[in-house]
Structure 1
Amino acid sequence: MHTMWKGTISFGLVNIPVKLHSATENKDVKLRQLHKECQSPIKYEKVCPVCDREIENDEIVKAYEYAKNKFVMLTDEELAEIQEENKERAVEIVDFVQLDEIDPIYFEKSYYLSPNEGGGKAYTLLRKALEDTGKIGVAKMVIRSKEQLAAIRVYKNTLVVETIHYPDEVRNVQDVPNVPEDIETPEKELDTAKMLIDQLTSEFDPDKYQDEYRTALLDLIEEKKNQDETTTATEKPKPNNVTNLMEALEASLDRAKKDNPASEEKKKAPTAKKATAKKTLTPKKANPKKQTRKRA
């Protein structure tokens, strides 16, 4: 199992070197978007709307938008310094509470804890103490550059970290629209609802639940594969050097014409002079009738 984080958990004078592992994984079926015409995957580019061009990663900086289009720039060095300061702090259990005192809305993500080298004895001590008291530990820790509030509890002989939302991260329930106030419920309807709940009550067995949508989608995909209903993305055409050269020459010529319009006028001017000169030098043909009259 991949180790995400290494550190120390402490309570009182007891220090436990531990490793953190993700306890859950997302198994959503990820679908790609293709161009309907050529079945090529759609590419998403980072484009600056002002410069009107694609931006490389080394051109991107981080900032906090404190008002509409108002930003505070933050350098990588400044962020790294804050992260380093937080990394140096050990994960300290600050309180022990009952698990049912924490509403499930606060829970975010689960991680397994395993002892690091030399931490087996202290790990077992904390696990046993939590089991005997029925308590969980509340601690602070930094995961992926974010300080997290966390609950440390026992799950099937293994210590588990449950990251917890801070109170200001949970939205005010009174902001939820259209929630009805207490409405008088007929006793008969309430009794019927309770009877239905009693009939459907059982012990929680997570193995009997499955993602039916995901299963049906995977079955459909497999069926299409078996029936050869597949497609292959069209390869991007390779650039033609000759075509690119001609386009570059034509573009350069057009630009030169725009940048130096006087040269075009000079080219046209000599042509007009030559035409005028030809008209001047061309002799007129003599009229034979006029010459005959003079001799007579």
Structure 2
Amino acid sequence: MRAIGKRVIAFGLVNVPVKIYSATEDHDISLHQVHDKDGGRIRYQRRCEIDGKVVPYEHIDKAYDAGDRTVILTNEDLASLPEERSNEIEIVEFVPADQVDPMMFEKSYFLEPDSASAKAYVLLRETLEATKRTAIVKFALRQKTRLGALRVRDGVLVLQGLLWADEVRTAEFPGLDATVNISDKELDMSAKLVAEYESDFSPEKFDDDYQIQLKKLIDAKLEQGDSIDTEATFGQQDEGEKGEVLDLMEALRRSVEKNRSGKTRSGSGKKAG
């Protein structure tokens, strides 16, 4: 991994120098746009509306439209802001982990000790684990002041960006205010369905089916050309009970039975030990 920056965690009077690494990566297959007529690559250019010329990045500034006037902000202007110049990850409070709404999570970063002695880093890590708390921090990264949650994952400090409170919308749906009567039988059947699907979460069990199918499609086109037999490539698509309207109890009952039958078929294929 390649570090994207260095920061200092301010933990009271204790400073913890760290390197920052992106903790996640995008595995999506990269696609670009082409002209359907001749396959020519479509490219977007940064063209000035006044002189019509293509403008390189080094000559592009940002601007704010104030109505009748426009305020131009250069890179130097933005870099002069105190928060942008700060290299601190400032811990502002320690909170119970379950009080941080997952809805607020943004990108995650690994933090590596960046000093000859990792004692301050280990002290903070052990303190978070012992107190079962998450540190709420403020930091600046890529011309944006951010709120973050600092926690421990597999022995490594992880910084997760958080949305600001006013960036999370309030869900107001009139339909949720309607009176709905749930019978004991429906609730019991729903609980049985939950029990059928109970498991411990292991993300390794799940695959990105769309990307797998996209790769298969690309490979088929490379081998056969543009004209391919979709059914031969992907197989017959199971429509199941699509279009059939079921009441809630019947849908729950069928879901339980379908999951049980699936488990039975899976178990019957296992060899005896």
What SS does the corresponding residue of 1:53 show, helix, strand or coil?
coil
Cα separation, 2, equivalents of 1:90 and 1:52: 42
Q: Quick check: 1:9–1:15 contact (8 Å CA) kept in 2?
A: yes
Contact 1:17–1:118 at 8 Å: present in 2 too? no
Alignment of 1:166-245 (within 5 A): 166-174=164-172, 177-187=173-183, 188-227=185-224
Give the superposition deviation at 1:89: 4.7
**Aligned counterpart, 2:27:** 27
CA contact (8 A) 1:97 1:137 kept: yes
Is the Cα–Cα contact under 8 Å of residues 104 and 168 in structure 2 kept in the other structure?
Answer: yes
Residue of structure 2 in register with 1:2 after alignment: 2
Name 1:103's counterpart in structure 2. Answer: 101
The answer to whether the 8 A contact 1:18-1:119 is kept is no
Bigger drift between 180-189 and 108-117 goes to 180-189
Q: Is the 8 A contact 2:125 2:157 kept in 1?
A: yes
Between structure 1 and structure 2, the one with the greater Rg is 1
Contact 1:64/1:73, CA 8 A, preserved across alignment:
yes
Q: CA deviation at 1:54?
A: 3.5
1:74 pairs with 2:36: no
Counterpart-to-counterpart distance in 2, 1:132 and 1:110: 22
Q: Distance in 2 between matches of 1:124 and 1:182?
A: 52
Q: TM-score, normalised by structure 2?
A: 0.75
| Richer in helix (by share) | 1
Query: Counterpart in 2 of 1:44?
Result: 44
- Residue segments in structure 2 that go unaligned for 5+ positions in a row: 228-273
User: Taking structure 1 as the reference length, what is the TM-score of the superposition?
Assistant: 0.70
Q: What's the offset of the Cα at 1:109?
A: 1.0
Residue 2 (structure 1) shift? 0.8
- Amino acid corresponding to residue 75 of structure 1 in structure 2: T
SS at match of 1:197: helix
Show CA shifts across 1:82-136 (max 9, x none): 1x65333522211011111011111111110110022411111111111111111
Q: Does 1:14 align with 2:10?
A: no
The AA in structure 2 aligned to 1:95 is E
Tell me how large the CA RMSD over aligned residues is.
2.2
Kindly report structure 1 stretches of 4+ aligned residues shifted beyond 4 Å. Answer: none
In 2: Cα distance, 1:11 partner to 1:158 partner: 16
Q: Is the 8 A contact 1:45 1:54 kept in 2?
A: no
Aligned position for 2:232: none
Residue of structure 2 in register with 1:54 after alignment: 53
1:14-50: CA deviations, max 9, x gaps?
Answer: 111100100001122222111122211012223345x
Whole-angstrom CA distance in 1 between matches of 2:117 and 2:142: 23
| CA distance in structure 1 between the partners assigned to 2:208 and 2:174 by the alignment | 30
Q: 2:261 maps to what in 1?
A: none
Size of the aligned set, in residue pairs, is: 225
Q: Distance in 2 between matches of 1:197 and 1:85?
A: 48
C-alpha distance in 1, partners of 2:198/2:72? 55
State the secondary structure of the residue aligned to 2:180. coil
